[in-house]
Amino acid sequence: MREPCISGRDGGWFKSSYSGAGNTECVETAFRRSMTAVRDSKNPDGPMLGFSSGAWEEFIAAVQRKYLN
């Protein structure tokens, strides 16, 4: 069961500002009460991944430090 998003258009889903205009390799993110949800923008009704706030913060920090390629 999908949990409601906190706020925003399209149920709170948004694309990264780094997403290209071609929309060929994009993911969308939504901040929810108990997790951060991620889905494929080409398949918005398909499966999504849910991450705890701590796991999401660690992932973002690793990306910002360029630990992930």
Residue 28 CA neighbour count, 13 Å, CB half:
21
Tens-place pLDDT, residues 26-69 = 888 999 888 999 998 888 889 999 999 999 999 989 988 887 76
Task: Please give the residue that has the higher pLDDT: either 16 or 62.
Answer: 62
Output phi, psi for 63, to 5 deg.
-65, -45
Q: What is the pLDDT of residue 1?
A: 45
Q: How many CB atoms lie within 10 A of CB 68?
A: 8
Task: Report helix, strand or coil for 40.
Answer: strand
Tell me the average pLDDT across 12-23. Answer: 72
Please state the pTM of the whole predicted model: 0.71
